[in-house]
């Protein structure tokens, strides 16, 4: 056995160690190797580089490779561990093993200089600049330098991954100029390294597929090993066909570096597509699960390779030509990743993008930037189409995120369809294990069951789809993974669908849309697959959103428009509800029979809410057309009044009349605003079913709707026939509003709490629902107000208090200032969002218990 090369590696490694380039761990592992050699008792008898016999030489080479693998496998994964082990910033230390730009002047191509310390610098420099190598020792140094190049490539990739780990399509933070420059430099460095023949050769040697462990110990493979051996030979053959001199950087990955690859001259190409070689970084490749998944990648995700027909039909993945424990050779998909397309072509408006300090709260009247809902029809259908194909082939992606989807997208102005293809299939084995101590953004997309290490199925991809929908809209995510507020604020219908996709429990996904059914198989009588049905559901809900919003999805609202909308008594709700109802009816009519039954419920629900929204609005208008002419009459405008009304006016004092007008109008204003800005789209009652949560649902529903009428029913008769009863009217009015508050809150709280207790993960703990907490705070102030109004009314009726006008002014002022402006205008959005979350949670809870949902199947309820 030849130990010479081994010795030189050990000496180089020791040299690295002296210069702080080796971790303590590697040092000790190299120490172990030394001991091993010493134990064999031959260490001192061999000289570096001497060749004794070929078997011994091969053994020594193995040892050399083992030594180098140790160095590469132990590369620190992030700047923190880099700092701890090497005592310097990531960039600075890695620069020591990186060519530092063209150091050569004079004739010939520019060659890199090296910033390695000490004796090694001179040797490596000599090797790389082509002066030498002459001696055997230097030859081994050449190998060492080349392997250092591979280490540098690894470090560059890790640096890049660290720089990108917090970028997500939701925030669309574009890399700033410095980061872009740093990326360019990293890419240039990587290509410089790859342009060195020695580095290409080192890559070839270090990533060459090893004989599988099991076979390595057998003198000759038996029949039972035939398949494994054949697969090893195939990958070896594919490997040897590659031209390592022409490898160039294609893209840095997170756990791998992607190189554009070419075949050696004369080797016939099997594909018309350009090739990429994904080299898994050695620190990750040593994780058995990762190397196993990489090894079997070609078999797992190109099962159609041997069947030309199947290959034709599966277009949603890239073709994989070969794979081994540390690399995958595959087709290069045309286009950019979904992450790049959204970030580069559809950035969030500059003032809306989060800064490093987080999102700056937008002042109330600032123009609101709406989520980019308009992008959804471009992203969701092609994604579902690709998923359909994948799931039909009995595959699931299991790591679906925007960086693993390549999109062929026409430029932003072009209405052409997007085409999506998947790369990097299979569970991400880094999920749930912290290699670097920080959470990467990709983890947000992984279904909880994946993170828990369970076997994934198509439902895991549904979860990722839901998170991609959220990200596509360019809204900040909720840290707990639930759908962000903007969905609930603008489109509860879409929020409901997104919730149904991202339920942490896979068996509860698609609970509210039984028409989709289970995800795999099961074409309906019309030949539609579950994915096509899901697409139809998405298109239906999206149409409902667009119609409800009057077609203006991404309207940037000017400050005054926003102020008017914010303060308008009806907040546009009656029209919105009407449009929604019309849309639902149209959808129902256009649907075939089984879905029509399901949609019928939505239509009835929309009709119910539309009717109440219009009733509430009508009540307000009736109050207005009653009180305004009476007030004008009070001011002496000659408006003829019917006898009965005229008599009633004359029977009351001027102060009572004024008080009745002021308080009546302001109470009516508050009632309509309260209803329209908070409850117009919410109901605990679903047609044909008892209210959700039973009694609390019924009571809440009663008070919410009743309050929309009560105030009008009080204001109109009091103003017409008994102005002096205004004190009683005020007291009853505020009590009714208090009941809405109290019972509405209790219902919402109970819905969220019970859903949370039942493990429904789409809703946070009630105390963490911001809007609900705000709504809870309305209660005490409302109660105090109720007590005050009742007390003052009693004192006024008793004649203890005499200053009617002052009291009426205070009540009207509180109505307008506190209730109308502060609570029902400025604070309504948050409360509505919180309540919508709770109402949806209650609906989900109800659906779960009705369905007895434990198994991931709504197939039984399939139409
Ligand atoms: N076959 C391919 N065709 C086109 N681009 C590819 C291909 N494979 C990888 N890429 C590009 O390289 C990037 C990283 O690849 P991949 O996802 O396989 O590696 P990774 O280590 O998992 O990294 P990441 O965490 O960024 O996904 C991809 O986001 C994509 O831009
Ligand atoms: Mg990936």
Query: What does the pLDDT look like over 176-205, one tens digit per residue?
Result: 788 888 888 889 888 988 888 888 988 998
d(CA 447, CA 437): 20
Q: Label residue 519 by pLDDT band (50, 70, 90).
A: low
Tell whether omega for the bond before 133 is within 30 degrees of 0, i.e. cis: yes
Atom 26, ligand 1: residue with shortest CA distance: 253
- Report the pLDDT value the prediction gives residue 35, as an integer from 0 to 100: 53
Which pLDDT score, from 0 to 100, does residue 130 have?
42
| Distance in angstroms (rounded) separating the CA atoms of residues 313 and 304 | 9
Lowest mean pLDDT among 135-139, 173-177, 613-617, 724-728: 135-139
pLDDT category at 270 given cuts 50, 70, 90 is confident
CB 1 within 8 A of CB 42: yes
Greater pLDDT, 14 or 233: 233
Look at residue 145 in the predicted model and tell me its pLDDT: 64
The residue written with tokens 């490898």 in the block is: 247
Which value, in Å, is the radius of gyration of the alpha carbons in the chain?
A: 36
Structure tokens at 679: 């409850």
666-696 burial: b if 16+ Cβ within 10 Å, else e: bbbbbbbbbbbbbbbbbbbbbeeeebbbeeb
Ligand 1, pocket-test mutation among 190, 278, 285, most atoms within 8 A of CB: 278
DSSP state, 303?
A: T
Lowest mean pLDDT among 52-66, 241-255, 751-765: 52-66
Name which residue sits closest to atom 23 of ligand 1, judged by CA. Answer: 253
**763 Cβ closer than 6 Å to some ligand 1 atom:** no
- Is 521 a residue whose pLDDT tops 70? no
Using 50, 70 and 90 to split pLDDT, how confident is the model at 273? confident
Q: Which of 241, 232, 214 is nearest to 295 (CA)?
A: 232
Atom of ligand 1 nearest to the CA of 255: 21
Domains 225-331 and 345-356+365-567 share a fold: no
- Please state the rounded mean pLDDT for residues 138-153: 69
Centroid of ligand 2 to alpha carbon of 258 (angstroms)? 10
Q: How far apart are CA 698 and CA 345, in angstroms?
A: 49
Nearest CA to ligand 1 atom 8: 423
Nearest in space to 352 (alpha carbons), one of 537, 98, 173, 132:
173
Q: So what's the pLDDT on residue 86? A: 57
Greater confidence (284 vs 520) lies with 284
- Say which range, 172-186, 319-333, 760-774, 780-794, has the weakest mean pLDDT: 172-186
pLDDT at 341 over 80: yes
Taking phi first (over 0 means left), then psi (-120 to 50 degrees means alpha), and beta for anything else, what does residue 64 get?
Answer: alpha
Q: How far apart (Å, rounded) are the C-alpha atoms in residues 322 and 341?
A: 29
> Ligand 1 pocket check: which of 164, 424, 435 to mutate, most ligand atoms within 8 Å of Cβ?
424
CA 571 vs CA 544, 590, 788, 828: distances in Å: 18, 30, 30, 11
> Tell me, what's the pLDDT at 378?
94
- Ligand 1: atom nearest CA of 424 is 18
pLDDT classification of 536: cutoffs 50, 70, 90:
very high
Burial class of residue 1 (count of CB atoms within 10 Å of its CB; 0-12, 13-18, 19+): middle
> Is residue 276 in contact with ligand 1, taking CB distance under 6 Å?
yes
Question: Which sign, positive or negative, has the C-alpha torsion 207, 212, 213, 218?
Answer: negative
Q: What is the mean pLDDT of residues 290-317?
A: 75
Taking residues 805-829, what's their average pLDDT?
92
**Does the pLDDT value for residue 92 go beyond 70?**
no
- The answer to whether 464 touches 434, Cβ cutoff 8 Å, is no
pLDDT at 299 (0 to 100): 85
Least confident piece of the model among 28-37, 238-247, 490-499, 796-805: 28-37
Candidate of 250, 258, 287, 428 to mutate for ligand 1, largest count of ligand atoms within 8 Å of Cβ: 258
Q: How far is the CA of 403 from the centre of ligand 2 (A)?
A: 6
Q: Does position 762 have pLDDT exceeding 60, yes or no?
A: yes
Kindly tell me if the per-residue pLDDT of 83 is higher than 80: no
pLDDT at 445: 93
Q: Residue 330's Cα: distance from chain center in Å?
A: 27
pLDDT digits (tens, 9 = 90+) for 553-592: 665 667 777 788 888 999 889 999 999 999 999 999 998 8
pLDDT band at 539 (very low <50, low <70, confident <90, very high): very high
| CA-proximal residue: ligand 1, atom 14 (nearest) | 253
Residue range 168-180: mean pLDDT, rounded:
82
Sequence-distant (≥ 6) Cβ neighbours of residue 532 within 8 angstroms: 384, 388
Which residue from 402, 379, 380, 400 is spatially nearest to 390, judged by alpha carbons? 400
Which pLDDT value is given to residue 375? 92
* 403 in contact with ligand 1, CB cutoff 6 A: yes
- pLDDT, residue 59, reads 54
**Cβ atoms < 10 Å from Cβ of 86:** 19
d(CA 58, CA 49): 12
Backbone angles phi, psi at 802, to 5 degrees: -115, -20
Gap from CA of 255 to ligand 2 centroid (Å): 8
337 CA: nearest ligand 1 atom: 31
Beta pairing class for 327-331 and 336-337: unpaired
Per-residue confidence band for 121, with pLDDT thresholds at 50, 70 and 90: very low
Domain 225-331 has CATH 3.30.200: yes
CA dist., res. 827 & res. 824, Å (int): 6
| Least-confidence region, from 11-20, 70-79, 371-380, 450-459 | 11-20
653-705 tens-digit pLDDT: 999 999 999 999 999 999 999 999 999 999 998 877 777 778 899 999 999 99
Q: Nearest C-alpha to atom 7 of ligand 1 is from which residue? A: 332
As a whole number, mean pLDDT of residues 483-498 equals 88
* Ligand 2 mean position, distance from CA 473 (Å): 21
Alpha helices per DSSP H over 209-268: 213-216, 226-240
Q: Distances in Å between the alpha carbon of 732 and those of 349, 703, 726, 785?
A: 48, 13, 10, 12
Using alpha carbons, list the distances in angstroms from residue 824 to 502, 567, 670, 743.
Answer: 31, 9, 7, 17
CA of 765: how far to CAs of 319, 515, 753, 755, 841, in Å? 45, 30, 7, 9, 11
Burial class (CB in 10 A: 0-12, 13-18, 19+), 757: exposed
d(CA 640, CA 638): 6
Is residue 479 within 8 A of residue 418, CB to CB? The reply is no
Q: What does the pLDDT read at residue 863?
A: 27
- Give Dmax over CA atoms of the chain in angstroms: 128
Lowest mean pLDDT among 135-144, 199-208, 705-714: 135-144
Q: Is 254 in the pocket of ligand 1 (CB under 6 A)?
A: yes
Mean of all residue pLDDT scores within the chain? 80
Report the distance separating Cα 341 and Cα 335, nearest Å.
9
H/E element, 672: helix 654-674
Contact 841, 779 (CB under 8 A): no
Nearest ligand atom owner, CA of 280: 1
Instruction: Classify 849 as helix, strand or coil.
Output: helix
| pLDDT > 90? residue 172 | no
Q: Is 319 in the pocket of ligand 1 (CB under 6 A)?
A: no
* C-alpha 398 to ligand 1 mean position (Å): 15
Q: How many whole angstroms separate alpha carbon 317 and alpha carbon 208?
A: 25
pLDDT for residue 139 is more than 90: no
Query: What end-to-end distance do the CA atoms of the chain give, in Å?
Result: 73
As a whole number of angstroms, the distance between CA 90 and CA 215 comes to: 40
The model's pLDDT over 318-332, given as tens digits with 9 standing for 90+, comes to: 999 999 999 999 999
In this prediction, residue 382 carries a pLDDT of 96
Task: Indicate the domain borders of the chain.
Answer: 4-204, 225-331, 345-356+365-567, 601-845
- Contact (Cβ atoms closer than 8 angstroms) between residue 144 and residue 124: yes
Architecture of domain 345-356+365-567: Orthogonal Bundle (1.10)
- Could you tell me the distance, in angstroms and rounded to a whole number, from the CA of residue 298 to the centre of ligand 2? 16
Q: From atom 31 of ligand 1, which residue's Cα is the shortest distance away?
A: 337
**pLDDT on residue 42:** 37
* Residue partners of 714: CB distance under 8 A and separation at least 6: 664, 667, 729, 732, 733
Residue 133 and residue 127: Cα distance in Å, rounded?
6
| Closest ligand to residue 429's CA | 1
d(CA 141, CA 120): 8
Higher pLDDT, 587 or 514: 587
Mutate to test the pocket of ligand 1, among 423, 430, 441, 468 (most ligand atoms within 8 A of CB): 423
Torsion of CA 477, 482, 485, 491, to 10 degrees: 120
Ligand 2 centre distance from Cα of residue 398 (Å): 11
**Predicted local confidence at residue 482, as pLDDT:** 86
Burial letters 377-413, b for 16+ CB under 10 A, else e: ebbbbbbbbbbbbbbbbebbbbbbbbbbbbbbbeeee
User: What pairs with residue 855 in β-bridges?
Assistant: none
Ligand 1: does its nearest atom lie under 6 Å from the Cβ of 442? yes
Please give the pLDDT value at position 56. 45
pLDDT of residue 739: 96
Point out the least confidently predicted range of 164-173, 207-216, 612-621, 627-636. 207-216
Angle at 543 between CA 540 and CA 545, to 5 degrees: 115
Residue 255 near ligand 1, beta carbon < 6 Å: yes
Mean pLDDT of 436-456: 80
Measuring from atom 19 of ligand 1, which residue has the nearest CA?
253
The pLDDT of residue 486 is above 60 = yes
Ligand 1 in reach of 392 Cβ (< 6 A):
no
Which segments of 208-319 are extended strands (E)?
248-252, 256-261, 275-280
- Rounded distance from Cα 624 to ligand 2 centre (Å): 61
Task: Decide if 490 contacts 831 (C-beta within 8 A).
Answer: no
Sorted by sequence, the CB contacts under 8 Å of residue 805 that are 6+ apart come out as 655, 658, 659
Confidence band, pLDDT 50/70/90 cuts, at residue 49? very low
Structural contact between residues 494 and 377, judged by C-beta atoms closer than 8 angstroms: no
- Phi/psi of residue 468, each to 5°? -65, -40
Q: Is 249 left (phi over 0), alpha (psi -120 to 50) or beta?
A: beta
Q: Output the pLDDT for position 10.
A: 47
Ligand of minimum distance to the alpha carbon of 321? 1
Q: Collect contacts of 850-859 with beta carbons under 8 A, ≥24 apart.
A: 851/511, 853/507, 853/508, 853/511, 854/507, 855/507, 856/457, 856/459, 856/506, 856/507, 856/509, 856/518, 857/507, 857/518, 858/510, 858/511, 858/513, 858/514, 858/516, 858/517, 858/518, 859/517, 859/518, 859/522
Q: Is there a contact between 319 and 272 (Cβ–Cβ < 8 Å)?
A: no
């Amino acid at each position: 056995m030849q130990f010479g090369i081994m010795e030189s590696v050990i000496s180089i490694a020791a040299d690295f160690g002296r210069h702080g380039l080796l971790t303590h761990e590697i040092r000790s592992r190299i120490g172990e190797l030394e001991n091993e050699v010493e134990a064999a008792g031959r260490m001192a008898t061999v000289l570096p580089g001497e060749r004794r016999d070929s078997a011994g030489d091969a053994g020594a080479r193995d040892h050399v490779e083992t030594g180098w693998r140790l160095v590469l496998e132990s590369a620190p994964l992030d700047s923190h561990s880099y700092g701890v082990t090497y005592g310097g910033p990531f960039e600075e230390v890695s620069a020591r093993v990186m060519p530092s730009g063209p150091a050569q002047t004079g004739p010939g191509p520019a060659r890199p200089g090296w910033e390695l310390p000490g004796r090694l610098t001179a040797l490596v420099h000599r090797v790389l600049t082509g002066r030498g190598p002459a001696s055997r020792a230097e030859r081994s140094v050449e190998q060492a330098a080349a392997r250092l190049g591979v280490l540098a490539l690894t470090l560059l990739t890790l640096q890049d991954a660290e720089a990108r780990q917090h970028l997500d399509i939701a925030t669309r933070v574009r890399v700033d100029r410095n980061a872009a420059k740093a990326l360019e430099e990293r890419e240039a460095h990587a290509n410089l390294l790859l342009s060195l023949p020695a580095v290409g050769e080192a890559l070839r040697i270090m990533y060459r597929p090893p004989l599988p462990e099991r076979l390595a110990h057998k003198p000759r493979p038996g029949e039972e090993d035939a398949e494994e051996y054949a697969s090893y030979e195939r990958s070896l053959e594919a490997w040897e066909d590659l031209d390592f001199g022409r490898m160039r950087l294609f893209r840095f990955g997170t756990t791998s570096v992607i190189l554009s690859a070419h075949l050696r001259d004369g080797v016939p190409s099997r594909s018309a597509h350009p090739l990429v070689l994904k080299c898994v970084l050695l620190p990750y490749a040593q994780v058995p699960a990762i190397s196993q998944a990489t090894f079997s990648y070609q078999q797992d995700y190109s099962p159609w390779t041997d069947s030309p027909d199947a290959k034709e039909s599966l277009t949603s993945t890239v073709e994989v030509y070969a794979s081994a424990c540390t690399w995958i050779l595959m087709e290069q998909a045309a286009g950019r990743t979904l992450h790049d397309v959204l970030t580069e072509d559809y950035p969030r408006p500059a003032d809306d993008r989060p800064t490093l300090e987080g999102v700056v709260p937008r002042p109330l009247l600032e123009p609101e930037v709406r989520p980019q809902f308009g992008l959804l029809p471009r992203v969701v259908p092609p994604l579902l189409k690709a998923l359909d194909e994948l799931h039909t082939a009995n595959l699931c992606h299991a790591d679906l995120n925007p960086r693993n989807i390549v999109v062929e997208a026409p430029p932003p102005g072009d209405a052409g369809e997007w085409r999506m293809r998947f790369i990097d299939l299979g569970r991400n084995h880094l999920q749930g294990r912290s290699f670097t101590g920080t959470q990467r953004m990709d983890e947000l997309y992984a279904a909880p069951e994946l993170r828990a290490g369970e076997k994934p199925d198509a439902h895991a991809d549904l979860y990722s789809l839901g998170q991609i929908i959220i990200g596509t809209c360019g809204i900040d995510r909720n840290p707990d993974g639930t759908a962000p507020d903007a969905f609930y604020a603008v489109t509860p219908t879409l929020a409901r669908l997104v919730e149904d996709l991202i339920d942490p429990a896979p068996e509860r996904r698609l609970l509210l849309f039984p028409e989709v059914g289970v995800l795999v198989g099961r074409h309906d009588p019309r030949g539609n697959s579950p994915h096509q049905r899901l697409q139809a559901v998405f298109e239906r809900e999206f149409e409902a959103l667009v119609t409800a919003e009057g077609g203006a999805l991404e309207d940037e609202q000017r400050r005054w428009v926003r102020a008017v909308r914010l303060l308008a008594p009806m907040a546009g709700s009656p029209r919105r509800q009407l449009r929604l109802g019309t849309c639902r009816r149209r959808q129902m009519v256009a649907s075939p029979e089984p879905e029509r039954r399901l949609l019928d419920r939505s239509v009835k629900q929309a009709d119910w809410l539309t009717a109440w929204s219009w009733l509430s609005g009508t009540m307000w208008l009736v109050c207005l057309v009653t009180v305004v002419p009476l007030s004008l009459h009070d001011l002496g405008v000659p408006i003829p009044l019917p006898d009965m009304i005229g008599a009633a006016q004359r029977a009351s004092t001027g102060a009572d009349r004024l008080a009745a007008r002021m308080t009546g109008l302001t109470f009516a204003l508050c009632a309509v605003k309260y209803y329209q800005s908070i409850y117009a789209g919410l109901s605990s009652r679903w047609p044909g079913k008892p209210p959700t949560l039973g009694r609390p649902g019924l009571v809440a529903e009663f008070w919410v709707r009743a309050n929309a009428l009560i105030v009008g029913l009080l204001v109109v008769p009091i103003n017409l026939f008994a102005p002096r009863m205004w004190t009683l009217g005020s007291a009853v009015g505020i009590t009714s509003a208090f009941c809405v508050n109290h019972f509405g809150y209790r219902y919402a709280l109970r819905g969220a709490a019970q859903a949370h207790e039942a493990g429904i993960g789409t809703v946070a703990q009630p105390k963490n629902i911001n809007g609900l907490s705000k709504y809870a705070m309305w209660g005490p102030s409302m109660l105090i107000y109720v007590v005050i109004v009742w007390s003052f009314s009693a004192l006024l009726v008793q004649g203890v208090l005499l200053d009617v006008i002052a009291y009426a002014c205070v009540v009207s002022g509180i109505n307008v200032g506190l209730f109308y402006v502060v609570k029902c205008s400025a604070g309504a959005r948050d409360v509505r969002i919180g309540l919508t979350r709770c109402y949806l949670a209650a609906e989900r809870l109800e659906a779960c218990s009705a369905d007895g949902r434990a198994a991931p199947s709504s197939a039984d309820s399939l139409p």
